[in-house]
Structure formats: C-alpha cells, structure tokens
Structure 1
Amino acid sequence: MNGRSGGTDAETPLLEARDLHVEFNARGRRARAVDGVNLAVGRREIVALVGESGCGKTTLARTLLGLERPTSGEVRYDGAPLNYSSRALKAYRREVQLVLQDPMGSLNPRHTVYEAVAEGPRIHGMADEHERVVSALSRAGLRPPERFLQSYPHELSGGQRQRVVIAGALALDPGVLIADEPVASLDASVRGEILALLLRLRDELGLSALVVTHDLGLAWNIADRVAVMYLGRIVEAGPVEQILTSPSHPYTQALLSVLPESPEPVVLGGEPPDPTRIPGGCRFHPRCQVLASGAAAEAGVDGRCRSQLLDILPAAPSSGEAHVACHYAEATTPARS
C-alpha cells in the first residue's frame, strides 16, 4: 500500500464530506436526502455509518463514491476536493472502492472468478494482471488462489463470493473501501469471518473503510468510530466504545435497545424518516421517546426540541471526542455536546 500522503499531513482525513447536501426531486417535492453532513474517515481507520432504512446513508455513500454530485458542500480525498471530470473520476474510483451487500448481484454469473477480479485492472490499464488477481484473491482469504481462478459464482459459497467481490476491489490497491451492508446477506457463521477480513486488511494493508450498516452490533465489532444518521444528518458521532456504551441521543439509544443484550427495547412511534418532510426543530422530535415521556419538559427543553434547529456536527476525525445533536443531551450532559 502506498501511504497516500499526497503532500498532506497525517492528520488530514483520507476521505471527507464537508457540509454535504444532496437533494432530489421526488414526485414534485424536494427530498433532502443528505442535509448537511460532515464526516471524515482517517488513515487506517474504520468508520461505521449507522441508521435505519431511509435515513440517507446510502445516498451519502454514493456521493462519497462520486456516483452522485452534491447539491452543495464537497467531497475531499487526501485533502483535495473531488474533481468531477471523467478522467479525474476514473482515477478517484480506483482509490475509493465499493463493496456491495449482495455478492451474487455484484458478480456476472457468466464470468469466472479470474475475469471478475481482473475487470478493474483492465479498465484502468494496469500491468501484471495475472499477478494482481492472484495476489488480491490471496489477500481476500481465497487460498490457494489458483483453486478459484476458473470457478463461477454459482460454484462458490456466499462467503467465498463476498471475498471475490472484496478481491476485485483489492486488485486496484485502493485507499478506502466503502462497504454497504457487507455481511447482511451472509449466514451468521460467515459474518465474523468477513468482518475479521476487513480488520486484517486495515492492519496489514493500511486500508481505511466506511462501513454502511443498520446494525450497531456490527459497528461494535469492527469500527473505530461510529456516526449515527437520521433523516439526512449525523445526530451522534464519536469513538465506538463511547457512543455504544453511553449513547446520548435518544435515536442512538433506540437503535441500541433492539440488541439482544438490551433489557428493554424502545419502540419508536410516528412515521419513518421522509426526506421530503423534515420537521422543524430537532428532526427526530416527532418520534422521540424522551420528549414523549416528559423528560425533555422536566429539563426545560421541550419547546426547543420542537422549534429550534440544531447545529451540524463537526467531522472530528480521530479526535477522540464525541458529539451529539440533541437539545436534551446538551442540557443534561453538556460535556458531550
């Protein structure tokens, strides 16, 4: 792996979103899918982006990959703003690779493993194709790689297919993997192996990763930092141990409550996130269990919850700090805001 210093210092995030906004026209209404996000992935760091379906995390991931153009704000790689010219995007997509959740859908059933992994190096005109394919398969845990070269996807297990997808990314020597629900389609017995592989790639190759997931348990097992997204914004972010053992935002608390070891699940009321109908005040307040219970009123912040906008959270790459966008948390635990 190269160090990807790019002339920048080691504290510069490798991948960063700065005040990112992405809007779409949805049936004549404006959908604010990403509504002001600061997010940073440091070097040799795994960040988990967590939230329920519809929160905007997939749109954010696509924008970080250069597949969507932001309405405002910017994506930066190695300290430089993303250039959207065709040539620049091609070079960028060698550096930032996507790993999807459905390996069967990602792989052409008519292509052998060799052809699947060689596709990226061919597109980018890279030399030593055979050596790259064999090395990538080996690093992805398919050993001996020669055993798999002429296999077809239907001849492999689900875990092996996901390793082929990862090998296809590794063949390009990327700096960052963006993994969208990388183990969601796998059996429980295989999930741990793929997560261990991602950790090993971080440790041995210096890879960074953004893991997009709805599963806070997965975040606990793999991430250095976690960012919790709700209705287009990061509402809580920080070191994974701090956020997941002592969450400040009611939404994070609700997500954690569905884990098996939690004493009592929090059932959220109201409507699921709708990016065409973002409420005033705290965007979570129509479903907030703290507001519904009267605890926010006791803290004297219920009016603010319903009417006062919250600041966009900073990216805080590798700073060790946690941040939360919540009037109640600010009133009761000011050190966390």
Structure 2
Amino acid sequence: MTLLEARDLRVEFVSRGRRARAVDGVNLSVAEGEIVALVGESGCGKTTLARTLLGLERPVSGSVRYGGTPLAYSSRALKAYRREVQLVLQDPTGALNPRHTVYEAVAEGPRIHRLPDEGERVASALSRAGLRPPERFFGRHPHELSGGQRQRVVIAGALALEPRVLVADEPVASLDASVRGEILALLLRLRAELGLSALVVTHDLGLAWNIADRVAVMYLGRIVESGPVEHVLTAPSHPYTRALLSVLPDSPAPVVLGGEPPDATRVPPGCRFHPRCQVLASGAAAAAGVDGLCVSRPLPVLPSSPGAHVACHHAEATMLTGRADDRS
C-alpha cells in the first residue's frame, strides 16, 4: 500500500521578481516497508521536495497524500502528521541542542505530543538506534559523543514517536566512511524490525545502491528517471543518470557535463537537460532523429508507479527502435 505520495507537486519561490520553479511537477510514492532514494546534484530540488512532503513548504499546486488522504495544513493536522512522518537531518551536530542531554533531546518529541511513559520511550528509542545500554547515554551532551553516536541520537529522537515513515536528508553525508555503513545498516534493520518506510535524499548513488528498493533521479525540479534500484543503476536510460553514475570509482570514464548548472528561474524549453546533454552534443540524438524534439518539445511528468520510467526523447526513440528490431 502506498503510504506517502506526491501528486503533480509544484513548489515555487519568488525573489526580486524572479520565479524559481524548485519542484516543477513531481509524482513520487513510498510504499509500506519500502526505502526510496531520491538522488541528484545540489540545487535540483531534492531538499525542497522533502520539506514539502513533511509539510514544511506548501505547494502552489498538486498535493501531498498520506495513506491516500491529502495533507491538511492546519496546526493540529500537521502536528498529528509529523508524528507519523519524521525527519532525520543531515548534520547531527546542528540538529542537537548542545545544552540538552541525550535524554532531553530524545524526549522532546514525546513531550510535545504529550505521550505517556516518557522514560520507557526514550530508553527503547535509544536501544533501537544502537545506543546500549541506553541509560549510559541519558546524561551525556552532544560534544561527548562521536559523530555516529550523534546521528543515532537524532534517529532515536524520531523513533521515540513511533513513526511509520522517515524522511532522511543526506543521513550519512557528514560522517566518516567507517561509520556510514553502520548507519545504513541501522536504517535497514529498522525497516526489517519495525516495518518503517523511508525516503532517503542523497547525492550519493553508492548509498542508493546499498539501501534503496527504488530510486528516483531528479534534475531541475523534476524526476527524469525512476525505477527499481538494480534497473536504474545498472542500465540507466537517461543521460543525466549515466553522468551521475560515471563518477563512481568503478566507472570506466567520467562524463563531463557542459553548459551551465541548472537554474530553477530559467527552465529551458524542450527537455530541461538538453543544454548539458552529452547525447545531444555528441550527435547521437540527431542520428536518432530526435534532436529537434530535445530542444523544443517538453517531456511529460513521470508517473509514480513502481515500474521503470524515463523522461528522455532519445531513450524513447531507442526503445521504439529496439521493439521494431525485435518484431522483425
């Protein structure tokens, strides 16, 4: 069952007369017990989309749905919703008040929601997050903990509310390589033990490969490719996905993208990736007869259904050619 969903979501910001289309038509879903990775370079709209799914930003159109019901934006409705859908921030040092003890940090959520058995909730959450015995950490302050322990405290703070979905924004970006695997293993264990769903926002495709069931690749405010993680990361169809994958250590050669970095105030006509597209620049799009479409015809918003989807004129033409060859 789909638990958290964005339907044709659009979020805009206006500054000095310029309108930035930060999220420009996104369909995205997270099912019960599923981990979805949202990947893309900085500035593509990942964090804005995550904030909108949490109710921290309001869309100009489209909707956020939880359990099939559109999100309401009254204070009471948002408070109830945020007990079910919890945020795990990128920087555990910035997320924790340096004056609060670990106990106070984890107990903050249950106190806001006036939940019973505070001490038991805090101890259970810390234990599930891998800080055992939990009582040993109650009186400690953030500066007395390692980076990995601080991230576990942040996760425990979310778990204390017994949520059904975690939205994790770059959850291991600030951690040492030796600790990253431990936090990823923790998220997988929480999914197995508690049935938690998660949306993991990251620029790291290696992380997506290790933790996600599905991956959605975002560029300039829109999902340009999505599907099962094995399909997207082993046989990417979109040239932007191939460029992202090319920087991984085992890639044969990096793809250097030309043109300007994406600017949400100036979305180009046609395919929004075409000014930087290596397929168009190499002449492969022209050989397939779609170069005119690339620069003039916009691509439709991809659906949120579980299958593999791509928004690329060249990929569509290639698939059609392959089907014709199969029939012949």
Q: Normalising TM by the smaller chain, what interval? A: over 0.9
The amino acid across from 1:168 in the alignment is G
SS at match of 2:171: coil
The equivalent residue for 1:49 is 38
Which residue of 190, 194, 209 corresponds with 1:205?
A: 194
The amino acid across from 1:223 in the alignment is A
Under a length normalisation based on structure 1, what TM-score does the superposition of the two structures give?
A: 0.95
The amino acid across from 1:322 in the alignment is A
The equivalent residue for 1:110 is 99
Q: Which aligned pairs between 1:1-337 and structure 2 lie closer than 5 A?
A: 11=1, 13-316=2-305, 319=306, 321-334=307-320
The amino acid across from 1:276 in the alignment is T
The amino acid across from 1:304 in the alignment is L
Deviations 1:230-258 (A, max 9, x none): 00000000000000000000000000000
CA distance in structure 2 between the partners assigned to 1:272 and 1:139 by the alignment: 41
CA distance in structure 1 between the partners assigned to 2:175 and 2:105 by the alignment: 20
CA distance in structure 1 between the partners assigned to 2:27 and 2:54 by the alignment: 15
The equivalent residue for 1:8 is none
CA distance in structure 2 between the partners assigned to 1:146 and 1:89 by the alignment: 32
Q: Post-superposition shift, 1:81? A: 0.4
The amino acid across from 2:171 in the alignment is P
Q: Post-superposition shift, 1:206? A: 0.4
Deviations 1:111-167 (A, max 9, x none): 000000000000000000000000000000001111101000000000000000000
Q: Post-superposition shift, 1:27? A: 2.5
Q: Which stretches in structure 2 are left out of the alignment for 5+ residues?
A: 324-328
CA distance in structure 1 between the partners assigned to 2:67 and 2:119 by the alignment: 29
CA distance in structure 1 between the partners assigned to 2:248 and 2:270 by the alignment: 29
Q: Post-superposition shift, 1:89? A: 0.3
Q: Post-superposition shift, 1:26? A: 2.6
CA distance in structure 2 between the partners assigned to 1:272 and 1:259 by the alignment: 20
Q: Post-superposition shift, 1:28? A: 1.3
Q: Post-superposition shift, 1:333? A: 1.7
The total of aligned residue pairs comes to 322
| Amino-acid identity (%) | 83
SS at match of 1:314: coil
CA distance in structure 1 between the partners assigned to 2:3 and 2:15 by the alignment: 33
SS at match of 1:228: strand
Q: Which stretches in structure 1 are left out of the alignment for 5+ residues?
A: 1-10
SS at match of 1:172: coil
The amino acid across from 1:330 in the alignment is E
CA distance in structure 1 between the partners assigned to 2:83 and 2:212 by the alignment: 23
The amino acid across from 1:166 in the alignment is I
Under a length normalisation based on structure 2, what TM-score does the superposition of the two structures give?
A: 0.97
